[in-house]
Structure 1
Amino acid sequence: MNKKRKQHHEEHLDESWLIPYADLLTLLLALFIILFASSEMDSKKYDSIMRSLNSAFTGGSSFFEQPEVVPVPGEPATKKKDADTTSEQADLKGAQQQQIQKETAELQELKQKLDQYIQDNKLSAQLETKLTNDMLMITIRDNALFASGSATVKPDAQKLAVTISDMLTQYQQYQIEVAGHTDNVPIRNAEFETNWDLSAKRALNFMKILLQNDKITADRFRAIGYGEYRPIDSNDSADGRSKNRRVEVSILRTIKEGTTIGVAENR
C-alpha cells in the first residue's frame, strides 16, 4: 500500500521553480527590446531615456513627468514675425520718403513761380516765400493788402490773390491755411473790438478772393486769426510791428519731414 502511494506522489513533481524562471525570461526580453530601441535612437533621445530610467530607479521624477521641449527646426516664429514687421516698416518708410521727395519737388516748383512773380512785379519788400519741412509759406505784409485798421482787401492786392489762386490750381492735393496776424497795439474802431477780430476777418476776406477761382475746391482751405500772439519780430519798434502785421498763405505738406529741406527765402 505504501509503495503505491509513493509512486503516485512522484508523478506530480514540484514545478514552482518555473515562476522565477519565467520572470527572468521576461526581464531579459524587456532588456533586449530596450537595447534594440536604443540602437535606433539618436544620442539625445538615448540620454533622455537613460535619465528617465535612472530617475525612476532612484525615486526621482521621471522623464515623462518633465518633458523637454523639442525645438522645431527652422526659424523661430517670433523672429520671423519681427522680421516681417521690420520689412513692412522699411517699405512704409521708403514709400513715405518717396512721397516727401515728390512733394518737395512740387513745392520747390511752386516757390520758383512765386519768386519769379515777386521779382517781375518788384514786390520783394512786401512778399516773401519760405519752404520748410512743414509747408511752403507765402508771407504778405498787411500794408500791401489792407488800409490801416481795415479788413477790406485793396484792389491791387486782389490781383495778387487771383495770381496765387491760379498757381494753386495746379497743386490740388494740398491743404491751404490763410492766417491773419497783427501787432500788439490795441485796435480802436467801431468795426473790430480786438486784434483777434481784425486778424480773423483779414484772413477770411483774403481767402474768399482765392476761392473765387472755380478750379479750386473750398474743402482744401481754412482761415484763422492769430491776433498779436505769434509775432515774428519785436513790437518795440515801428519796423518790427510792421513785420508782425501780415497775412500768411501756407501750402501744407501731407507728410512732414524729420528735417528741414532746402529752406530758401526771397527777401
Structure 2
Amino acid sequence: MKCIKCYGNFKSHNEFVCESCKEFGKLINIMYDEAKKIFMESTNPEKEEIYNILLNTFFIIQNNPKITIYKNIINNLFQKFYLNPSRIITLDEIWIEVRSSRNIKKIIKRMEECQVIKLSNDQSGLNLNIEMGAVMKNLMEKIYLIYKGERESELRVAAVLTMYVILYELLKYANDNTKEDIYRDFESHSPRMVWVATKFLWNEGIKNDETFSDTDITKYLSKHGLTSKSIITITSGLKETNPDSVQRYIADLDLDSNGDINFVINHNIYIALERLNHHRMREHE
C-alpha cells in the first residue's frame, strides 16, 4: 500500500501511513518544539543549530510558486514592522499587496497559531488586525533591527521565519492521521513536496554518511511522485555552492568514477541533524 503522506495516495480508500513517515513525524515534533523555544527566547538565535538548519533548507521552497506566498507575507510584515514595530497592519493591506490564489487568511491564521503574529478583530468585526507575535518580535529585536537595512541579511532572517512557519505546517501534517485530517488542514495545498524533500535531507538521506549522490536524491524524490520540475528545482538548489548561494546545506560537490555528483553535507548541519535524530530515537525507545 502507498502511504497517504509521502505518496499522497488519495485515490484509494486506504488510510495507510508508512513507518518512515511516522518516524519522520516524531523528528518534526522535536524540531518544531526546539525552534519555537529558541525563536521565542534566545538572545542570539542566529547561533542556534535549528536556525541554520532552517536557513539552509529554504532553497527547497524558494522558487516554488505555490509556497512563495509564505515568503511574500513574511517579507511584507517584516518591512512594515521594521518601520514601526508598534503599528497594527490589517489583513486587507496584506491581501492587496500580496496577491495570490492561495487562501491568505488561512495562512495568516497559521502564522498566529505558531506565534509569529497576533490577530484581533477590528472595530467593524469585518477585518483582522495583525501585530507582531512573540516569535517575530524576538527575531526582529535580536536580528532584523541590528542589520539596519542590509537587504541580504534581512532576507535571510525572513527566509528563516518563513521556514519556521513551513515547519509548523509540517508539524500539522505529521500529526494528521487520515486523509480527512489532511484535507481539513490543507485542502488541495498539502505540504507533501516539502515533506518528502525534508524527509530525505533531514533524515532518510543522511542515515549512514555525510554524503549522498545526485542519483540517490533524484530516485528518492521521483519514487515518491514529485514532479520533474520540483526535482530539478531541489537538485539545482543543492548544486549552488558558491559563496553567494542561498543554501549552505551542501559544503562541496564531488564527482565519482561514473560521473555522478556526490553532495557533501555541511558538517555542522550534519552533526545538528544527527543530534536531533538521536533525540527522536531516545524519546521513543
Q: Which has the higher contact order (CA 8 A, sep 6+)?
A: 2
State which structure, 1 or 2, has the greater radius of gyration over its C-alpha atoms.
1
TM-score by length of structure 1 reads 0.23
Higher helix share: 2
TM-score by length of structure 2 reads 0.22
